[in-house]
Structure 1
Amino acid sequence: MRLKLVSLLIILSGLSACSTTEKPTKTSDNLSNSANTLKNEALNAQSIYQLAQNRYGADKIQLLYSARDSAITEENWPLLEKICTELALTASVDQIQNRLYIAFAQKEQNKNQQALEVLNTLEGQLKQPEHFAWHQFLTASIFASQDLPKRAAPYFFAASESVAKNNISIPKLNDALWHNLKQLSSYALERFNRGSVIQQGWVNLALYHQVYANSSVDLDQAINNWRRRYLGHPGTNVLPKQDTYANELAPLNIERLVVLLPQSGANKRLGDALKAGILAALDKKEISETLFIDENTETEALSAQISQLQPDFVIGPLLKANIDKLAKTNTLLDIPTLHLNTFDGERTSLQHYFFALNPEHEVQQTLEHFLAQGYQKPMLLAPNNTNGQRLIDYFNLQWQRYSETTTQVGFYNDNKDMPNTITSLLEVDKSKERIKSVKTLFNKEVESETRSRGDIDAIYILGDAIETRLIKPYLDVNVSTFADRIPIYASSKSHSKQIDTTDKGDLDGLYFTELPWMLDSQITQHNLRQQYNDLWPEQADISQRLFAMAYDAVAMLNDIRQLSITPDKYFSGLSGKLSINSAGDIERSLQWAQYSNRRIKPVELKTQRPVPLFMQSANDGITIIN
């Protein structure tokens, strides 16, 4: 049976990357006045397409985008294929996106083999998560429409995993996947019962429906068990709504809490800081028993101890290596767990969450502010080491999802290398060379002032507190006085409570992100902060941040289920506004602050979740999602 997804058309009418270097920044002015008037007078996609044939450059491209949107709305698949084929031959547009459109149009015309050939040519080029998710979904839909459910299933699973991980919307994906699974035998389903927790959740849901098809009581019990094990799974959307399921969202009843922390070895100091935060938070929790276990205990003995204790909830481990070991032994598989780090492996349970002071959260927050402000050419400065390169790579990868421009990047090797890096990026060195050349032409003294490049509209420093205090003055003296003041931003690494007690002057004007716990003006629990300062007046910055993180790990336990399945819900903690994404990662939104007159003051900066290029409308930048 041919798969017809009406809602797909709704979102496709808003999918347009417009990745052309000729596209103006403001989408309302995309077309010249004459071209815009002609487009408004056109009656349908065909007439807009004909208008485009008589135009050139950016006007033609934007008219083709408009014709493409209209063709989707009109379900004129032959014309859509024709338009996108023409766009795909234009070097300055998103060719991958237009080839996906071509495959979609061919699929809608039952030209399935041609559509698959187009999709096959895109293998290895799908670097954007939106591209990958739609590629997998279209491939699965073609196989499903040809009554090939076994061939369709892996692509459906991949699409579902990508959507869940990257918060992408593909209407009717869940319904199409579920319909496809119901075509499979129990034997075929068993063969798919492996891989990610998303895939296993789908397969087990289908198996339950087959095994208990003749017993509604047993089926209800099996589904209830499935809901508890796969809390927040996208398969929930295909099940009948159950009022009784609200009970599953009630706060967890935790009588016995087990905490796994490093209590020996090189990381004991970090474990002590975390333990202090947990104990402080437990003062306000009604948990009967809390047991601390050294996570560095031999794995087999640790697994046996946890099995014997049968905890209601586990916090930890901290170290990635220990998280990996316990994952391989499935020790925590059926126990709700909040790991105190990220995890590079496959999530094994939807009741497992991951909490870390991840610098990528701050990079993402800054990037979203840059996009909200309309910055086009940010300059990024970072140390030339593994961490610096990782964060720059993360920023650039995300930036490419939302912007057609490229960033300017500078890596410095050490303190002595900073001036050269900055003057080179700002092209001050070239200005000095020009001044030198002019002076050689005259015998008299020539008044001169260096000029920096004028296209940089924001600067982001990813160095530590010492590096930032060296970089900021260099930036201040090397930005041309003829240019507008360039806003300068930094991460929480730039802020140190110890250093700030004696040195703030050189940072005037700098914006940075920080944990509320580290900003005295943002702390609501003043008594807790005072007690902490009395007990540990000289604590290192990292210990203070870990204390806040551990405190929040306990404080948010009552809300963790609701947070995991409610996208807009967040918990206000010492370490920021905390939410849980579909991959189980706790995301942090930090406080913005600014150095001003040798003081630190909180500021509110515009930040909003951006729309990926692949989902921006050709004409007005609006995403249409029902």
Structure 2
Amino acid sequence: MQLKKLSLIVAILSGLSACGTTPKNQQPVSNPQSQVQKAQPQENLDANALYTLALSKQGASRIQLLYNAREAAIIERNWLVLEQVCFELETKASVDHVQNKLYIAFAQKEQGKFESAHTILQSVDAQLKLAEHRGWHQYLTGSIFASQKLPKKALVHYFKSADIAQQNKLTIAGLDNDIWSALQQLSSYALERFDRGSVIQQGWVKLAKYHQVYLGSTVQLHQAMNNWQRRYKNHPGSFIIPSEVKSTINLAPYQATKLAILLPQSGSSERLGAALKNGFLAAMDKSQVNEIYFIDEMDSAELIERELQKVQADFIIGPLLKSNIVKVKSSSFVAQSAAIFLNEIDPEDAERIHTEHYYFALNPEHEVEQAMVHFLAKGFQKPMLLAPNTPSGQRLIAHFNSQWQNFSETEPEAGFYNNSEDMVEVITQLLEVDRSQARIKEVKSLFRSEVESETRSRRDIDAIYILGDAIETRLIKPYLDVNVSTFAERIPLYASSRSYSKQIDKTDKGDLEGLYFTELPWMLPDAINERNLRDTYARLWPEQADIEQRLFAMAHDALNLIPELKQLSKIPGKEFDGLTGSLSIKEANQIHRKLSWGQYHKNSIRLVSLDERLPTPLFMQKE
């Protein structure tokens, strides 16, 4: 299938020159595909060898060998050589330079050089005279948006490309597959907004809507597809139908009735294991699971393997501790079983992920990314981040900064505090209040009489993000309230779930008025509809710590995720609303959480909906 796609790319892009006009006093360049067949002496050379040979030639022979090398590079997926060949062809007057620029953009896109590829596409925007050029230009632009996880913007260009292709009887290799991939990432609401425009566009969108509604129901989906085919005859989406109907069988949910759950039942983490066990047992009420076998993940690998072989469970959940995940992965039973591990994947394992092994962690990086997306949607230019001077605090601020740089030219301010004593110093330095105080002191020294004064803080900070725990946040916020200038507009304050504690809130909400924070829906009042579950939990475990409550929610979600996993992993836009947030599956089978937003308001907490439009990468913001 991939080779067929590449062959089509060769055919389409190679054909672009034939449709252009030939400059005066120059010989027309013939179709490079036919020349590949004529060039018998070089037929066994690869792209790099052809390129090297071309550099030793002159005139028409050099150009023809470069064409041959270009086509070979596409078939071999040797994007670096393709780029080098095209740069060499740029120096030749007889070459279709718009076509060659599209080749370069294509090569750079395939190498992940999205910014430079986008710059090239912009540079030829005014030179697109041929339909073939316009069609490929729109497709390549859309594919760059898709690479930045912006399917809505990608589809705008994809549909323009599809219309050009349909009107001019062109085939643009890869376009149909990429349209389908982008459509599958949209919600039903977003699909409705795209259900307009040309017949080609409407046909695609309706196909995606049918697929979304009837996914998992083979008979109904097959019937809907037949109706669609009668309405949209000869539509390019027709090729999708057989494979998608077949895929509904492969997306049949896991039928797990017997679970093996590995959790810590001894040692220092036993308390965490007990909280998880409570969550699993509570989730059984509304699941098809009939049997659960708990295994101590602290046991040896050999003992765990014997227990797993004895139980012969349909599905495995756990372990919780990352070191124990590494240990149980050596198990032959785990290797052939579907499983949810209750921690994140190790980076070195990302490339060799088991297709039926999923990773579910209460990852604080998800919250940091969610806050960053909101800041960008609000147009904040200079956020200030405060965190404890610990490995965790440094890691989270580094993660925020690395993500932020993809979307903004400004650099966030960051401050690390070692303890409660130096919080004031860190804040006054970051807000430059200390400079204001020094100026006031200097002015007062010039006058004998009393001088009225008011400190001023810097005016460019437009949001403050606190990554401290609940106690630290209750110390930091009053300092911020005092040190932000009364002449300045009130700076909005944000925090992560570390800043929130149900236990501390019972007796001390402090002066947290106006503070926004992300949190698991389970931890917030009125964020979920599971009233009976809440009441039961409060009755059975009224004094559990925050970490135990979060692990209870995690276990509850892990069990309920089992029948959803296949669809979540195959449909990028699909989410599962759980106690720990809106859950989706990203790359490397990692379960990603989108948390709820809460705000302290009039000595209570209210749910709020904040703007979280996906940001456009910096290099594409002028698009």
Same fold (TM over 0.5): yes
Paired position in structure 1 for 2:566: 561
Q: 1:536 aligns with which of 536, 541, 545?
A: 541
Match for residue 592 of structure 2? 587
Name the CA distance, whole Å, in 1 between partners of 2:263 and 2:337. 17
- 2:276 corresponds in structure 1 to 274
Q: Which residue matches 2:603?
A: 598
Q: CA deviation at 1:262?
A: 0.7
Question: d(CA) in 1 for partners of 2:428 and 2:172?
Answer: 51
1:354-365 equivalence runs, <5 A: 354-365=359-370
Q: Over residues 110-146 of structure 1, what are the superposed CA-to-partner deviations in whole Å (9 max), with x where a residue is unaligned?
A: 5599xxxxxxxxxxxxxxx9997338999xxxxxxxx
Residue equivalent to 1:324: 326
- After superposition, the C-alpha distances for 1:517-565 in whole angstroms (9 at most, x for unaligned) are 1112213111111111111111000000100111011112211111111
Aligned to 2:267: 265
Closer, same or farther in 2 for the Cα pair 1:342/1:173, shift >3 Å? Answer: farther
What does residue 303 of structure 2 align with? 301
Query: 2:255 corresponds to which residue?
Result: 253
> For residues 7 and 511 of structure 1, do their structure 2 counterparts lie closer, same or farther at Cα, with a shift above 3 Å needed?
farther
1:96-135 alignment, distance < 5 Å = 107-109=85-87, 133-134=112-113
In 1, Cα distance between the equivalents of 2:410 and 2:595? 26
CA drift of 1:453 comes to: 0.2
Return the alpha-carbon distance in structure 1 between the equivalents of residues 563 and 293 of structure 2: 19
Whole-angstrom distance in 2 between the partners of 1:330 and 1:397: 39
Name the structure 2 match of 1:434.
439
Q: Could you tell me which runs of 5 or more consecutive residues in structure 2 were left unpaired when the two chains were aligned.
A: 14-78, 92-107, 118-144, 159-170, 178-238
Pair 1:377 & 2:355 matched: no
Give distance in 2, aligned partners of 1:426 and 1:240: 61
Q: How does 1:330-479 map to 2 (within 5 A)?
A: 331-344=333-346, 345-347=348-350, 348-479=353-484
- SS where residue 507 of structure 2 aligns? coil
Is contact 2:9–2:173 with CA below 8 Å preserved after alignment? no
Q: Which residue of 1 aligns with 2:124?
A: none
Distance in 2 (CA, whole Å) between partners of 1:471 and 1:587 is 30
Cα separation, 2, equivalents of 1:330 and 1:438: 77
1:428–1:452 contact (8 Å) kept in structure 2: yes
In 2, the alpha carbon distance for the partners of 1:108 and 1:335 equals 48
Partner amino acid for 2:610? L
Residues 471 and 110 of structure 1, relative CA distance in 2, 3 Å threshold? same
The DSSP-based 3-state class of the residue aligned with 2:426 is helix
Which whole-Å CA distance do the structure 2 matches of 1:548 and 1:559 have between them?
Answer: 17
> Paired residues, what number?
431
Q: What SS is found at the alignment partner of 1:559? A: helix
Match in the other structure for 1:285: 287
Deviation at 1:505, TM superposition (A): 3.6
Q: SS at 1:438's partner residue?
A: helix
* d(CA) in 1 for partners of 2:172, 2:396: 33
The alignment-based identity, stated in percent, is 52
Where do 1:144-183 residues align within 5 Å?
Answer: none
> 3-state DSSP class of the match of 1:133?
coil
Q: Residue 482 and residue 3 in structure 1: after superposition, are their counterparts in 2 closer, same or farther (change >3 A)?
A: farther
Alpha-carbon separation, structure 2, partners of 1:8 and 1:408: 50
8 Å contact 1:259–1:316 — kept in the other structure?
Answer: yes
Q: 1:527 aligns with which of 525, 532, 536?
A: 532
The residue that corresponds to 1:143 in the other structure is none
Rounded to whole Å, the distance in 2 between the matches of 1:330 and 1:136 is 44
Distance in 2 between residues matched to 1:363 and 1:420, nearest whole Å: 25
Q: 1:463 to 1:104 in 2, by over 3 A?
A: farther
Instruction: Kindly indicate whether the alpha-carbon contact (under 8 Å) linking 1:165 and 1:583 is maintained by their aligned counterparts in 2.
Output: no
SS at match of 1:482: coil
Q: Distance in 2 between matches of 1:6 and 1:509?
A: 59
Contact 2:150/2:614, CA 8 A, preserved across alignment: no
SS at match of 2:329: helix
Q: Contact 1:334 / 1:349 at 8 angstroms: preserved in 2?
A: no
- 2:51 aligns with none
The one-letter amino acid of 2:601's match is S
How far does the alpha carbon of each residue in 1:208-263 deviate from its partner, in whole angstroms, 9 at most, with x for none?
A: xxxxxxxxxxxxxxxxxxxxxxxxxxxxx999725233111122111321111111
Secondary structure in 2 aligned to 1:594?
strand
What is the letter of the counterpart of residue 488 of structure 2?
A
Conserved? CA contact 2:528–2:579, under 8 Å: yes
Structure-1 residue corresponding to 2:227: none
1:602-621 matched pairs, under 5 angstroms = 602-614=607-619, 616-618=620-622, 620=623
1:211-230 matches, within 5 Å, as none
Partner Cα separation in structure 2 for residue 281 and residue 521 of structure 1: 19
Letter paired with 1:346: D
Q: Relative to structure 1, is the Cα distance of residues 609 and 617 closer, same or farther in structure 2, using a 3 angstrom cutoff? A: closer
List gaps (5 residues or longer) in structure 1. 10-100, 114-128, 139-162, 179-236, 621-626
RMSD (Å), alpha carbons = 3.6
Q: Quick one: which amino acid aligns to residue 558 of structure 1? A: P
For the 8 Å contact 1:106–1:112, the answer to whether it is kept is: no
Task: Give secondary structure in 2 for the equivalent of 1:538.
Answer: coil
Q: Looking at CA atoms only, which structure, 1 or 2, has the larger radius of gyration?
A: 2
3-state DSSP of counterpart to 2:526: helix
- Separation in structure 2 between the aligned mates of residue 449 and residue 459 of structure 1, nearest angstrom: 22
CA drift at 1:393 = 0.6
Corresponding residue for residue 495 of structure 1:
500
Whether the aligned pair in 2 keeps the contact of 1:379 and 1:456 (CA below 8 Å) is yes
Q: Compared with structure 1, are the counterparts of its residues 131 and 540 closer, same or farther at alpha carbon in structure 2 (3 Å cutoff)? A: farther
- Tell me the equivalent position of 2:55: none
Preserved contact between residue 576 and residue 588 of structure 1 (Cα < 8 Å): yes
Q: Secondary structure at the match of 2:414?
A: strand
SS class of match (1:422): helix
Matched, 1:573 2:578: yes
The 1:6/1:605 distance shift into structure 2, 3 A limit, reads farther
